[in-house]
C-alpha cells in the first residue's frame, strides 16, 4: 500500500492494515518453518536461513516502525479508545506491549538472532544424532548471550528469568511458579514413591512388538477425525520432532513420528498435536488477519494438547470405545487384551530419561528439572558447558536415573536451539490448566464420560471452543481460567486428578 493511499485512511484502518501485513509475514514464515522441519533438502538450509532472517527482519521492522509508534499513541488516546471495538482494543493493547518490547531490540541484533536460531536447530539435530554436546555448545552460548542482551534491553523483572517467563505466560513469575511447583512436588513425589513400592504393576507386555506404519497412520487419522480435527483446514505429516503449527485458521498442520516398535508414540503424539490444532482451527474467524488469531499463551496451548492426550486419550472410557478399532488395525497383535488392561498398560508410571516418553505423573518432574536449570542459566550464570553435569545430577536426584549419554540427556529437547528459554514451564502449567478446566467440564457436561466412552468427542471440543478456542488471544490466560472456573490457576485439580487416577490403577 503506497503512502498516497494510506493518507486517506483513518488511524485505525492504517493500524489494521499494518497488523494484517505482520500477520501475513508470520503466516509465510510459518510455511517456511514447517517446510524446514518436514524435509527441506540439507544443501538449501544455509540460504534458506538467510532468507528467513531477512523476512523476519522485515516483519520486525513493521512492528517497530515510527509509524506504528505514532498509530499506537493515537489509538491509545482516551477519545479513540472509547470508540474501539473489543477486538481492536485488545489488539492495540497487545501490539503496544509488543512494540514496547521490540523497540528496545536493535534490528541487526534481532536478525542475527533469527539466523542463529534457524541454523542452531540443524546443528542441534546433528549434535543429538552424534551425541556431540561440544558441537552444539557454541550455538547455545551465543543464543544465551543474546537472550541476556534481550533481558538487559527489556529490563529485568524481579529476576532475569522472570523476563523470559513473561514471554510465554504473560504475568507469570518465578515466585508463583516456585509455589505451584512446590505444591505439585509435595503431593506428586510421595505418590510416585507409593507407586514405585506398589506390587500391582500393570502388564505392558502387549505393547511390545512391531506395528505396521500405515496402520498406525490410519488409526491416528481416525482419532483425529473423531476429535473434530478438520483435514480440509490442515494436514498430517511426519517429522523427527512432532509439532503443530497454525499458519492461519484455515491451515493448521500437525506432524507425528511413527516408531515401528512403539504403538503409543505416534498415537499419543498425534492426539497431543491434535489438541493444539483444535485450538488454532477454532478461533473466531473475525480474528483472522490479526495477530490475535493464535493461542493466548503457551500454557493454555499446552493445556489443550495435554488435556486431549492424557485426560481424554489415556482414560479408561476412551479405550473402552477405541480398543476394538485399534485391534482391527493390528490384527492378531492385541488379541485378548481388555480395555482395562490396555488402560493400565498405557498408564504405567516409570521414571524415564526422555521427557516426551514420560508418563503423566513423572512428566512434571522432567519439567521442574528444566525449570531449575533455566533459572540457573539466567539467574545464577551457570556456564552452558556445565549443562551435562548439572542435568545428569538432577535426573539422578529427582528420578533416580542417569543418562548414558547427552543425546538422551541434555540434548533431547529442541527448545533451547530455538532460544525458547521459559517455555518448558508451560507444559506443567498446561497440565494444571487442563485438570482445572476438565473439572468444570464434567460438571457442565454431565454425560461427558459416557460420551467419551461412546467416541462422542465433539461435545467436549465444542465446549472448549466456546470456553477457550474461539477467543484466540482476545482473552488473557488468567481471564480464561477465571471465566471457566471462577478461580485462578491452582495446582490442586491436577494433584487430585492424578491421585485418583493412579490410586485406582495401582490399587493404592
Min CB(31)–its own copies separation in Å: 5
The dihedrals phi and psi of 341, each to the nearest 5 degrees, come to -65, -45
Q: Does 215 bind its own copies (CB under 8 A)?
A: no
Q: In the range 351-390, which residues lie near its own copies by CB under 8 A?
A: none
Q: Using an 8 Å Cβ cutoff, are 342 and 206 in contact?
A: yes
Contacts of residues 379-384 at CB distance under 8 Å and 24 or more positions apart, as own/partner, are 379/159, 379/160, 379/161, 379/174, 384/137, 384/140, 384/141, 384/144
- CB count in 10 Å sphere of residue 329: 19
- CB count in 10 Å sphere of residue 450: 11
Taking Cα atoms as reference points, which of 253, 258, 256 lies closest to residue 214? Answer: 258
Among 41, 78, 332, 336, binds its own copies (CB under 8 A): 41
Among 92, 120, 195, 247, binds its own copies (CB under 8 A): 247
Say whether 273 is catalytic: yes
Residue 412 CA to residue 170 CA, distance in Å, equals 27
Q: Using an 8 Å Cβ cutoff, are 342 and 323 in contact?
A: yes
Question: Segment contacting its own copies (CB under 8 A): 64-72, 180-188, 245-253, 363-371?
Answer: 245-253
For residue 253, list its beta bridge partners. 245
**What mask, x for binding its own copies by CB under 8 A, covers residues 417 to 456?**
----------------------------------------
Q: In the range 43-82, which residues lie near its own copies by CB under 8 A?
A: 43-48, 50-52, 54-55, 58
Q: Does 499 bind its own copies (CB under 8 A)?
A: no
Residue 3 CA to residue 374 CA, distance in Å, equals 46
Beta-carbon contacts of 422 under 8 Å, excluding residues fewer than 6 positions away, are: 161, 164, 165, 166, 167, 168, 374
For residue 12, list its beta bridge partners. none
Question: Segment contacting its own copies (CB under 8 A): 63-71, 149-157, 212-220, 241-249?
Answer: 241-249
Q: Does 42 bind its own copies (CB under 8 A)?
A: yes
Taking Cα atoms as reference points, which of 476, 500, 498, 508 lies closest to residue 489? Answer: 476
Min CB(235)–its own copies separation in Å: 6
Q: Using an 8 Å Cβ cutoff, are 465 and 484 in contact?
A: no
Kindly calculate the radius of gyration of the chain based on its CA atoms and give it in whole angstroms: 23
Nearer to its own copies, 102 or 407 (CB): 102
Nearer to its own copies, 233 or 348 (CB): 233
Min CB(294)–its own copies separation in Å: 13
Q: Does 125 bind its own copies (CB under 8 A)?
A: no
Question: Segment contacting its own copies (CB under 8 A): 242-250, 333-341, 364-372, 384-392?
Answer: 242-250
Nearer to its own copies, 48 or 314 (CB): 48
Min CB(2)–its own copies separation in Å: 6
Q: Using an 8 Å Cβ cutoff, are 314 and 363 in contact?
A: no
Nearer to its own copies, 289 or 366 (CB): 289
Nearer to its own copies, 79 or 108 (CB): 108
Q: Does 9 bind its own copies (CB under 8 A)?
A: no
Nearer to its own copies, 31 or 356 (CB): 31
Q: Does 6 bind its own copies (CB under 8 A)?
A: no
Count of residues in contact with its own copies, rule CB under 8 A? 43
Nearer to its own copies, 43 or 507 (CB): 43
Q: In the range 173-202, which residues lie near its own copies by CB under 8 A?
A: none
Among 9, 13, 39, 324, binds its own copies (CB under 8 A): 39
Min CB(45)–its own copies separation in Å: 8
Residue 407 CA to residue 358 CA, distance in Å, equals 16
Q: Using an 8 Å Cβ cutoff, are 479 and 173 in contact?
A: no
3-state secondary structure 240-264: CCCCEEEEECCEEEEEECCECCEHH
Catalytic residue among 273, 309, 360, 374: 273
Taking Cα atoms as reference points, which of 457, 485, 168, 172 lies closest to residue 301? Answer: 168
Taking every pair of Cα atoms in the chain, the longest distance, rounded to a whole number of angstroms, is: 77
Q: Does 27 bind its own copies (CB under 8 A)?
A: yes
Q: Using an 8 Å Cβ cutoff, are 392 and 403 in contact?
A: yes
Min CB(458)–its own copies separation in Å: 18
Which grid cell sits at 389?
553435569
Nearer to its own copies, 280 or 406 (CB): 280
The dihedrals phi and psi of 135, each to the nearest 5 degrees, come to -70, -25
Question: Segment contacting its own copies (CB under 8 A): 195-203, 250-258, 428-436, 476-484?
Answer: 250-258
Min CB(108)–its own copies separation in Å: 7
Known catalytic residues are: 273
Q: What residues make contact with its own copies under the rule CB under 8 A?
A: 2, 5, 21, 24-25, 27-28, 31-32, 34-35, 39-48, 50-52, 54-55, 58, 107-108, 230-235, 247-251, 253, 288-289
Amino acid at each position: 500500500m503506497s503512502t498516497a493511499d494510506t493518507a486517506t485512511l483513518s488511524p485505525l484502518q492504517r493500524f489494521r492494515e499494518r497488523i494484517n501485513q505482520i500477520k501475513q509475514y508470520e503466516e509465510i514464515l510459518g510455511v517456511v518453518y514447517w517446510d524446514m522441519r518436514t524435509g527441506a533438502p540439507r544443501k538449501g538450509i544455509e540460504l534458506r536461513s538467510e532468507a528467513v532472517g531477512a523476512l523476519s527482519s522485515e516483519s520486525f521492522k513493521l512492528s517497530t516502525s515510527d509509524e506504528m509508534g505514532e498509530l499506537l499513541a493515537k489509538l491509545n488516546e482516551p477519545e479513540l479508545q472509547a470508540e474501539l471495538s473489543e477486538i481492536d482494543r485488545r489488539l492495540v493493547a497487545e501490539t503496544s506491549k509488543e512494540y514496547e518490547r521490540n523497540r528496545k531490540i536493535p534490528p541487526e541484533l534481532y536478525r542475527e538472532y533469527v539466523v542463529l536460531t534457524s541454523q542452531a536447530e540443524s546443528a542441534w539435530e546433528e549434535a543429538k544424532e552424534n551425541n556431540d554436546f561440544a558441537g552444539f555448545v557454541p550455538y547455545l552460548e551465543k543464543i544465551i548471550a543474546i537472550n541476556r542482551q534481550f533481558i538487559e534491553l527489556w529490563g529485568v523483572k524481579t529476576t532475569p528469568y522472570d523476563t523470559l517467563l513473561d514471554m510465554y505466560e504473560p504475568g507469570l513469575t518465578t515466585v508463583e511458579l516456585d509455589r505451584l511447583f512446590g505444591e505439585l512436588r509435595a503431593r506428586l513425589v510421595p505418590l510416585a514413591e507409593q507407586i514405585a513400592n506398589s506390587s500391582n504393576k500393570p502388564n505392558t507386555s502387549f505393547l511390545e512388538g512391531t506395528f505396521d506404519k500405515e496402520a498406525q497412520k490410519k488409526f491416528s487419522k481416525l482419532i483425529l477425525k473423531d476429535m473434530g480435527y478438520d483435514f480440509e483446514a490442515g494436514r498430517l505429516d511426519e517429522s523427527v520432532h512432532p509439532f503443530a503449527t497454525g499458519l492461519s485458521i484455515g491451515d493448521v498442520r500437525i506432524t507425528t513420528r511413527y516408531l515401528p516398535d512403539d504403538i503409543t508414540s505416534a498415537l499419543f503424539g498425534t492426539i497431543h498435536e491434535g489438541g493444539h490444532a483444535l485450538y488454532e482451527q477454532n478461533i473466531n474467524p473475525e480474528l483472522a488477519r490479526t495477530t490475535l488469531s493464535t493461542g493466548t499463551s503457551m500454557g493454555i496451548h499446552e493445556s489443550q494438547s495435554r488435556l486431549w492426550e492424557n485426560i481424554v486419550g489415556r482414560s479408561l472410557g476412551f479405550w473402552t470405545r477405541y480398543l476394538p478399532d485399534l485391534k482391527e488395525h493390528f490384527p492378531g497383535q492385541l488379541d485378548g487384551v481388555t480395555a482395562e488392561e490396555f488402560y493400565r498398560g498405557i498408564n504405567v508410571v516409570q521414571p524415564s530419561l526422555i521427557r516426551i516418553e514420560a508418563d503423566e505423573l513423572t512428566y512434571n518432574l522432567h519439567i521442574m528439572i528444566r525449570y531449575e536449570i533455566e533459572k540457573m542459566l539466567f539467574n545464577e550464570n551457570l556456564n552452558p558447558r556445565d549443562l551435562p553435569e548439572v542435568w545428569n545430577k538432577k535426573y539422578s536426584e529427582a528420578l533416580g536415573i542417569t543418562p548414558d549419554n547427552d543425546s538422551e540427556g541434555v540434548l533431547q529437547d529442541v527448545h533451547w536451539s530455538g532460544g525458547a528459554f521459559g517455555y518448558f514451564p508451560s507444559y506443567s502449567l498446561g497440565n494444571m490448566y487442563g485438570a482445572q478446566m476438565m473439572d468444570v467440564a464434567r460438571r457442565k457436561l454431565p454425560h461427558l464420560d459416557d460420551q467419551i466412552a461412546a467416541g462422542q468427542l465433539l461435545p467436549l471440543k465444542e465446549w472448549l471452543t466456546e470456553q477457550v478456542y474461539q477467543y484466540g488471544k482476545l482473552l488473557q490466560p488468567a481471564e480464561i481460567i477465571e471465566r471457566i472456573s471462577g478461580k485462578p490457576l491452582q495446582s490442586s485439580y491436577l494433584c487430585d486428578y492424578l491421585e485418583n487416577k493412579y490410586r485406582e490403577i495401582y490399587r493404592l
